[in-house]
Amino acid sequence: MSKFCMITVDRATPATLDRIHGTIKEQGGAWWHHFASTWIVQGKSSSAWRDLVKDQIKASGEGSTAAVLVVDLPVNKGNRGWAFSGVKSEKRASWLKSTYGPNSKD
């Protein structure tokens, strides 16, 4: 089963968020990023993702203002749930449906 984590970054500049996004893309796993400072990523432990993002925050000089939180998401696809609403929600949620798992049924 695939391991997924959710990464969210607080108080980072757009330049730092771009650095973080580049780092996530370089890791070669599947990822979703349709909110400015949140990603759902596949393949590494939460502490490994934290360290990768933390290194980018430090390299940008924002270590005293920016923060990162990485949360493990359920490994078993049957335990995953999500719901999405917003502009272009069908397009923005397509990766979630195809890669992460089906949405929750209300």
Q: What does the pLDDT read at residue 88?
A: 93
- Residues 48-102: tens digit of each pLDDT: 999 999 999 999 988 789 999 999 999 888 888 899 999 999 999 999 999 998 8
Q: What does the pLDDT read at residue 106?
A: 45
d(C-alpha 53, C-alpha 71), whole Å: 13
Question: CA dihedral in degrees (74, 93, 51, 26; nearest 10)?
Answer: 120
Fold entry, domain 4-76 = Alpha-Beta Plaits (3.30.70)
pTM of the model: 0.90
pLDDT band for 46, please (50, 70, 90 cuts).
very high
> What are the structural domain ranges in the chain?
4-76
Starting at the earlier edge strand, list the strands of the sheet with 31-35: 31-35, 38-42, 4-10, 67-72
Type of residue found at 102: P
Tokens of 11: 């108080």
Residue 63 and residue 9 in contact, taking contact as beta carbons nearer than 8 Å: no
